[in-house]
Amino acid sequence: MIKCISCGAEYSLEEIIYTCKECGSILEVLIQPNVSKDIFECRKSTMWKYKEFMPVNESKIISIQEGGTPFIKCNRLGDDLGVKLYVKVEGSNPTGSFKDRGMSVGITKACELGVDTVGCASTGNTSASLAAYAARAGLKCIVLLPSGKVALGKLAQAMFHGAEVLSVNGNFDEALEAVTALALEGRLYLLNSINPFRLEGQKSIGFEIVDDLGWRSPDRIILPVGNAGNISAIWKGIREFHQASFIEDLPRMTGIQAVGACPITNAFRKGAQEIVPVENPETVATAIRIGAPVSALKALRAIYESDGYSETVTDEEILDAQKLLARSEGIGVEPASASSIAGLRKLVDSGEIDRGEEIVCIVTGHLLKDPNTAINACKEPISIEADVESLKKILDDL
Ligand SMILES: *Cc1c(COP(=O)(O)O)cnc(C)c1O
Ligand SMILES: [Zn+2]
């Protein structure tokens, strides 16, 4: 069943609906299968390992093997910060971001519903993922991107997988408003994270973390927050496994935002349940350059219910953390993803995070998504003649 998170109104899983008809609030899918965790043993490591928890027809699944991403113990960085650190590398998904998990379920649902056109507004990764999964399913696809603000890798993916790519003269929030209006007229099936089936796929990040840890929770999960779907989804997944008695404890959900786009952190600091949208959001981390997050209500609930936290980081802190992770652990992520590491550093410094805490940072997208930012952060290659003597000089100075 689909249920309104504010007034509790209920809708059928077969209904195409994005917001509550009674009160206008956002919706969630409810599913609580009665299974033992033993059924997961011996299954291949993709997000469909947990298919009983996915509200779609197993025979229709559209997949490119999303999920089952690396869960890396980071001793060097963890020891430096005085915590036990794991990094969940979502850049290893088929199109290079966690959005693939949500898109696999969302596109499967689109096929079940028999729609022929799907669409989204996007800061980049949603469009890259939707374009690929629509291609896999044979659906028509239209994506709206804020002009000039989409990282190069993401734009290349959306175009190359054959989506109709529209460059919108406006920011993400405005593009989303436009495409949502089209969806409400029934012209396309909307696959932004206001679509509750997207979050059903993304909750598998929570499943994998507790499975990877041997059926227990870390002390804390830290991740970047933009449209606020992912933090809501991961908390939903963790709660479902808790309710099924697969785990006993719960992690504190810790959402990091950029200083120039931080409506969730602002609300958290006031203890508020609702956000005040940020006009003209700005940050180098374009994937979280969002002023009016659609899933704010769910995200704030996740933070409060889990005794979690929210903090902001500057663009400089984000870019520093991006480089730190790349150079101390060999893990290359795009700027938005590095805000989880930047947030960890800041919260250790402020004393909010205790020494020795077991932390999982989710790094949401791959370094190559945004090659321009990566290149701009480095010095130019040294140009030399192709002779041994010049090479030796450089090696001596290394
Ligand atoms: C979408 C995205 C985010 C933000 O996730 P939300 O669910 O919108 O909060 C963060 N990082 C990357 C790389 C993303 O693609
Ligand atoms: Zn309602």
pLDDT at 385: 87
Residue nearest to atom 2 of ligand 1 (CA): 287
Query: In this structure, which residue's CA is closest to atom 13 in ligand 1?
Result: 365
Burial classification of residue 244, based on how many CB atoms lie within 10 Å of its CB (0-12 exposed, 13-18 middle, 19 or more buried): middle
pLDDT at 32 over 90: no
Helix axis angle, 296-305 to 229-243, nearest 10°: 50
| pLDDT band at residue 280 using 50, 70 and 90 as cut-offs | very high
Arithmetic mean of pLDDT over the chain: 96
Q: CA-to-CA distance for 382 and 122, rounded, in angstroms?
A: 37
Q: Is 283 helix (H, G, I), strand (E, B) or coil?
A: coil
Task: Name which of 383, 312, 390, 375 is nearest 346 in CA terms.
Answer: 312
Average pLDDT of span 71-80 = 98
Q: Which ligand is nearest to the CA of 4?
A: 2
Q: Which of 100, 230, 340 gets mutated to test ligand 1 (max ligand atoms within 8 A of its CB)?
A: 230
C-alpha 232/C-alpha 108 separation (Å) is 21
Average pLDDT over residues 288-313: 97
Cβ < 6 A, ligand 1 pocket: 97, 99, 125, 193, 224-230, 287-288, 334, 336-337, 364-365
Residue 398, pLDDT above cutoff 90:
no
- Please, what are the domains in the chain? 71-96+198-376 (3.40.50.1100), 97-194 (3.40.50.1100)
Q: What is the pLDDT of residue 388?
A: 92
- Between the CA of 214 and the centroid of ligand 1 the distance, in Å, is 27
**pLDDT reported for residue 14:** 95
Q: Is the pLDDT of residue 204 over 90?
A: yes
**Confidence tier at 149 by pLDDT (50, 70, 90):** confident
Tokens at 210, concatenated: 């507790």
> Residue 386: is its pLDDT beyond 90?
no
pLDDT at 144: 96
pLDDT at residue 118 is higher than 90: yes
What is the percentage of the chain residues whose pLDDT exceeds 90? 95
Average pLDDT of span 80-98 = 98
- pTM of the predicted model as reported, rounded to 2 decimal places: 0.97
Those residues with Cβ within 8 angstroms of residue 290's Cβ, 6 or more apart along the chain or in another chain: 123, 172, 173, 226, 227, 261, 281
The mean pLDDT of 285-306, rounded to a whole number, is: 97
Judge whether residue 390 has pLDDT over 90.
Answer: no
**Residues with C-beta atoms within 5 A of ion ligand 2:** 4, 6-7, 9, 20, 22-23, 25
Ligand 1, atom nearest to 369 Cα? 13
pLDDT (mean) for 188-198: 97
User: Over the stretch 329-383, which tens digit does the pLDDT of each residue have?
Assistant: 999 999 999 999 999 999 999 999 999 999 999 999 999 999 999 999 999 998 8
Q: Note the ligand closest to the C-alpha atom of 103.
A: 1
User: What is residue 341's predicted lDDT score, i.e. its pLDDT?
Assistant: 98
What is the average pLDDT across 152-166? 97
- The CA distance from 35 to 136, in Å, is 30
Q: Using CA positions, which residue lies closest to atom 14 of ligand 1?
A: 287
- 288 C-alpha vs ligand 1 centroid, how far in Å? 6
CA distances (Å), origin 182, targets 112, 117, 177, 347: 20, 11, 9, 42
